[in-house]
Amino acid sequence: MTFALHSTVFIIACILAISVYVQADTPNGNRPNDRPGRFLSLPVPEKCSRRPKEFFYKGHNYFFTGHLVELKDKKFDWLDGRNLCREYCMDLTSLETQEENNLIFKLIQQNDVPYIWTSGRLCDFKGCENRTDLEPKNLHGWFWSATRAKIFPTNRITPGWGYNAWSQTGHKKIPQPDNAEFDINRTVESCLAILNNVYNDGIAWHDVACYHEKPVVCEDNEELLNYVASTNPGIRL
Ligand SMILES: *[C@@H]1O[C@H](CO)[C@@H](O)[C@H](O)[C@H]1NC(C)=O
Ligand SMILES: *[C@@H]1O[C@H](CO)[C@@H](O)[C@H](O)[C@H]1NC(C)=O
């Protein structure tokens, strides 16, 4: 998805809308690990200016928290991971193409990273009700939060890809997403992690409950960069 020039007002409206969207994204009732009322963070212009740029791909900078001295041993739940990235005008990485996915898989493999969060999210919160196009949710309900792009049905190979990035196995020994923790204690697995051979399945996508803590890969977010550029004339990003 690309965004043409927006007026500042429109971009602010978008950011507020996204904040509300995600505030509604946590309260699934009986999960003790939920912290209700958590919001998406707004970008911090000074942090956007000096954001870590570990590598560059197709117009976006990326970094892995495991490669930053101050974040090396830190792990984050999914929303805290998004917010860490967002303050830098970035977001959790979204893997819309096989080439980009291969790049992130390679980073995981070469650095022996056990797992990371991506921006992938199940649309199971307020605003997703009565969306027949998202049913059944385990096949059609996944999207990239950072760009709001839909993820191709989980049981099919995305056109242009040579493999299905979702693992073909997991806790329940069935293809992902399997919502396995829900069977254990009713915690929905609403977030998309990349796991490195946890189920003897190589590097692959898994649905995981969002409260788990993992390192993250942040990727430039055009909306946030455009917003900060338009509200801070002359800023170097
Ligand atoms: C979804 O559909 C149900 C049943 O038709 C209705 O009661 C409910 O208000 C709808 N929810 C939304 C958010 O539209
Ligand atoms: C659900 O089970 C997992 C795995 O055993 C555990 O880590 C988590 O704390 C449990 N959550 C709840 C709500 O009991």
Report the sign of the C-alpha dihedral through residues 144, 24, 209, 129, in that order.
negative
What's the angle, vertex CA 80, arms to CA 77 and CA 81, rounded to 5? 80
Q: Assess whether pLDDT exceeds 80 at residue 23.
A: no
Count Cβ atoms below 10 Å from residue 121 Cβ, excluding itself.
25
Cβ 32 under 6 angstroms from ligand 2? yes
For ligand 2, whether the C-beta of 6 sits within 6 Å is no
Q: Residue 130 CA: which ligand 1 atom is closest?
A: 1
Across the range 92-111, mean pLDDT stands at: 98
Using pLDDT thresholds of 50, 70 and 90, give the confidence band for residue 36: low
pLDDT at 38: 83
pLDDT at res. 190: 98
145 in contact with ligand 2, CB cutoff 6 A: no
Q: What's the gap in Å between 37 CA and the centre of ligand 2? A: 21
Q: Name which residue sits closest to atom 7 of ligand 1, judged by CA.
A: 130
- Spell out a b/e string for 191-222, using b for 16 or more CB atoms within 10 Å of the CB, else e: bbbbbbebbeeebbbbbbbbbbebbbbbbbbb
The pLDDT tens digits of the residues spanning 106-121 come to 999 999 999 999 999 9
Predicted confidence at residue 27, as pLDDT, reads 33
CA distance 190 to 179: 8
Average pLDDT, the chain: 89
Does residue 4 have its Cβ closer than 6 Å to ligand 2? no
Atom 5 of ligand 1, residue of closest alpha carbon: 130
pLDDT in tens, 40-54: 999 999 999 999 999
Residue 3 has pLDDT above 50, yes or no: no
Give the model confidence (pLDDT) of 148-176 as tens digits: 999 999 999 999 999 999 999 999 999 99
